[in-house]
Structures are given as C-alpha cells and as structure tokens.
Homo-oligomer: A and B are copies of this chain.
Amino acid sequence: MTGPAPRRRGRPSRTEEETGPGARERILEAARAQFAERGYDKTSVRGIGKAAGVDPALVHHYFGTKDEVFAAAIEVSFEPAAVVPAIVGGPRDSIGERLARFFIGVWENPASRAPLLAIVRSALTHEAAAKVLRTFVLRRLLERIAAELDVPDPKFRAELAASHMIGIAILRYVIQVEPMASADPERIVEMVAPTLQRYLTEA
C-alpha cells in the first residue's frame, strides 16, 4: 500500500516528512532494528513509530498489526518474488547449491541477520513469531520452490530442507557452536547443497 495515511479525529494533517515516500522505508528499518534489539515480545507498534519518527497510526496504516510489521521486516530479507525464480530458474542440478548459498548469504548479511535472529529466537516461544516463520520462510519461499519442482510431497520436502537450514542457523548464529560458528560459509554450502538438492528434486 502506498496511499496517503488515513486522518484520525482531532489530529492535524500529517507533514510531508511523516507521510512522504521515505516514511514506509523508515518504518521498516526501525522495525528491523527494534525487533532485533528488543526481541519480538518487547517490540511495540508505538515504539517502532517513535523510532521512525512517525505516528504509530501510520505504522498501522502501512503494515497493519505488529505481526504484519514483523512479517514485512522479515520479507525484505527474503523477497520471495525475486528469490524463487532465481533459485528455480537456473540449472536444475544446482538448485540445492543456489538455495544453500542464498540462505547463508541472507544470514551472513548483518542487516538481514538481525531480524532473523529475532524471529528464530521468538518463534519457539511465541505463536505469532512461529506463524511468521511458517508463513514467510516456509509457505512463501520454500513451498513455492518445491511446487515448481514437480516432486512428490513438495510441502514435506520443503519442510525437510527448511528444517536443516533453520537448524544450521540456530547452531551457527544463535548458539554459536564451534566449529560451525566459524566455518567458511562456502564449506557449509558445499556440504549442505547435496542434501537440499536431494530433498527438492529427487523422487
């Protein structure tokens, strides 16, 4: 949505700074920072609005509920509309490698890692965060990839692939187990790619 913010009773109309084209981006950036720093639980739409320098109503206007702001903050890292064709579109025998490299790349990028850490940490204890994980990582990314690949049980296979990548993220980035935490990302890609390839393409 990019329309103007709705007026609220008794409020003056918003300034250009508050509603201008930069506001949506500022809100997303503030949301990513707040979720990453404070965790899912302690982040509020009010706090995001404050950090972005906008009225909380504008956060609601652009994104809806706190869950939906969270989902939007995560989606920036995944951009399924661009990622799915890039992974599925190349040679079929290197899908596992492209998916593994995309996944590690998202996590190795500090800007996307921070909100992902927040979601993974929260997903095990908060249903709302778990739902975001299900909706975005699974439904919108991995299931779309699996659906393109014409294998039996595409959802189950997408979940097998997702389970491995989520587990790697937990050991490497959350619990920071060695040597996994310091391993060369390419070494992880090399080991994991054949697994993802098998789950996603072999009957």
Contact = CB atoms under 8 A, between A and B. Distances in A.
Contact of A166 (B159, B167, B195, B199): B167
Interface in A134-173: 134, 138, 153, 155-157, 159-160, 162-168, 170-172
A32 to B, nearest CB: 19
B171 A162 contact: yes
Contacts of A167: 162-168, 170
Given A124-B120, A125-B125, A191-B199, A133 B175 contact: yes
9 contacts: A120-B124, A125-B125, A155-B179, A156-B180, A157-B191, A160-B192, A164-B195, A165-B167, A170-B170
Copies of chain A in the complex: 2
A178 to B, nearest CB: 8
Nearest to A181: B159
A183 interface: yes
Contact of A195 (B121, B123, B171, B195): B195
A147 to B, nearest CB: 14
Given A174-B124, A191-B199, A179 B159 contact: yes
A134 B175 contact: yes
A7 interface: no
Given A174-B124, A198-B194, A168 B179 contact: no
